Amino acid sequence: MADYKDVWVYVEHKSGAFSPMSYELMGIGKKLAGDLGGDLCALVIAENTDELAKEAGYYGASKVYAVDGAAFQTFRADAYAKAAASVIDKYKPDVVLYRATTQGADLSSACAAALETGLASDAIGLEIDADKTVKVTRAAFGGNFLVSVANKKTKPQMATVRPKVFPMSERDTSKSAEAVKESVAISEDDLRTKVLQFMQSEVAVNLVEADIIVSGGRGVGKPEGFKILQDLANALGGALGASRAAVDSGWIPQEHQVGQTGKTVKPKIYIACGISGAIQHLAGMRTSDCIVAVNKDADAPIFKIASYGIVGDYNQVVPILIEEFKKRLNK
């Protein structure tokens, strides 16, 4: 086990397109690497890795393991996992981190099974224990408990990390990383899946990455109610969320659902309108930086965790908010 070293961060991208969020784990990766006395390295798999690898250097990677190939044009678990598992097996990192996104979840689980190693998912805390293993903290049971887990048995230690929990590292274009090019032979015949098409959502619902979310629940009362919540979300540059009650009533599609059977979000501002605050809903949003509650019922449990509360009808409050924000933001 002693020959396992360094902390690797998998850099996710969409058919070569990346954003700063692709590199969001470089900050925590650097910290863990420092505590373990190893280096921060990036793992990049793409049709053409050059840009992605250079960027990883800007964000603080000292080494980039890069696998190029036509089979990697678009993410697919089978192709990417073959490449990742082979490079991981060869260079033996101590720790590998992935974002807890659909891509990160798919790749990490396929790699974990291939390498027969442990995987902790959706970390909200990462630190190095006295025995130099990674202590991974996760939320359990609607956030009512925090469970810390560790893999003291197999290497590498792997985890997916909830987006937006750890601070980004500085992007510094004077930095560069040593590139280690690896080739992994994969023919289309070896692969089981083929991505035929990507259909972009008409209304982008990217709750997980949104900084501001305006969300509605049972108290919204009707499908049209979500129209003004969407207007507020638009005015703030935010995304539209919903509670299970609103989704189950058919007022809004399921991809908007926040909570235990929906998405877990951590925006900087979460505005809950007509949401009472059942524990299943709180499970999905309680770690938001600032929670605002607008509810007619002064006894609604949501007020117990809200940073700011307004007891009132969203039908009256939200239009005032929209108008005032537009005025103040010169929109």
Partner 1 sequence: MKIVVCIKQVPDTEAEVKWDLQKGTLKREAMDSVTNPFDEFALEEALLTKEKYDAEIVAITMGPEKATDVLRNALALGVDSVYHVSDPAMAGSDTLATSYALAKAVEKVGGADVVFCGKQATDGNTGIVASELAARLGFSQLSFVGKVVEIDAANKRIKVERGIEGGNEVVEAKLPAVVSVLKGINEPRLPNLMGIRKATKIPIPAWDADAIGAAKDKIGVEGSAIKVIELTTPPPRGGGEVLKGELAEVSNLLVEKLLDLKVIK
The binding track of 13-32 with respect to partner 1, each residue x by CB under 8 A or -, is -x------------------
CB of 247 to partner 1, least distance (A): 8
Which pair of tokens denotes residue 130?
């006295």
Nearest CA to 10 among 127, 124, 110?
A: 110
Q: Decide if residue 223 touches partner 1 (CB under 8 A).
A: no
Which pair of tokens denotes residue 20?
């700063």
Instruction: Count the neighbouring beta carbons within 10 Å of the beta carbon of residue 107.
Output: 27
The binding track of 63-102 with respect to partner 1, each residue x by CB under 8 A or -, is -------------xxx--x-------------------xx
Please classify residue 155 by burial: count the beta carbons closer than 10 Å to its beta carbon, then call 0-12 exposed, 13-18 middle and 19+ buried. Answer: buried
Q: Which stretch binds partner 1 (CB under 8 A): 24-32, 89-97, 180-188, 303-311?
A: 303-311
Peptide bond into 156 cis (omega under 30): yes
Q: Decide if 65 contacts 41 (C-beta within 8 A).
A: yes
Run of H or E residues at 104 = helix 102-115
Q: Decide if residue 168 touches partner 1 (CB under 8 A).
A: no
Q: Decide if residue 185 touches partner 1 (CB under 8 A).
A: no
Q: Which stretch binds partner 1 (CB under 8 A): 28-36, 45-53, 170-178, 207-215?
A: 207-215
Q: Decide if 57 contacts 40 (C-beta within 8 A).
A: no
Q: Decide if residue 179 touches partner 1 (CB under 8 A).
A: no
User: Among 1, 2, 130, 196, which residue interacts with partner 1 (rule: CB under 8 A)?
Assistant: 196
Q: Which stretch binds partner 1 (CB under 8 A): 30-38, 43-51, 142-150, 216-224?
A: 142-150
Instruction: Count the neighbouring beta carbons within 10 Å of the beta carbon of residue 181.
Output: 11
State phi, psi for 209 to the nearest 5 degrees: -100, 0
Q: Decide if 78 contacts 186 (C-beta within 8 A).
A: no
CB of 278 to partner 1, least distance (A): 9
Specify the 3-state DSSP secondary structure of 48: coil
Q: Decide if residue 52 touches partner 1 (CB under 8 A).
A: no
User: Among 20, 181, 223, 307, which residue interacts with partner 1 (rule: CB under 8 A)?
Assistant: 307
User: Among 40, 52, 123, 139, which residue interacts with partner 1 (rule: CB under 8 A)?
Assistant: 139
State phi, psi for 220 to the nearest 5 degrees: -70, -30
Which position has the token pair 């540059």?
237
Q: Which stretch binds partner 1 (CB under 8 A): 24-32, 168-176, 220-228, 321-329?
A: 321-329
CB of 10 to partner 1, least distance (A): 15
Residues in the chain, how many? Answer: 331
User: Would you say 185 or 203 has its CB closer to partner 1?
Assistant: 203
Q: Which stretch binds partner 1 (CB under 8 A): 41-49, 166-174, 221-229, 288-296?
A: 288-296
Q: What residue type is assigned to position 230 of the chain?
A: Q
Q: Decide if residue 122 touches partner 1 (CB under 8 A).
A: yes
User: Among 36, 110, 165, 180, which residue interacts with partner 1 (rule: CB under 8 A)?
Assistant: 110
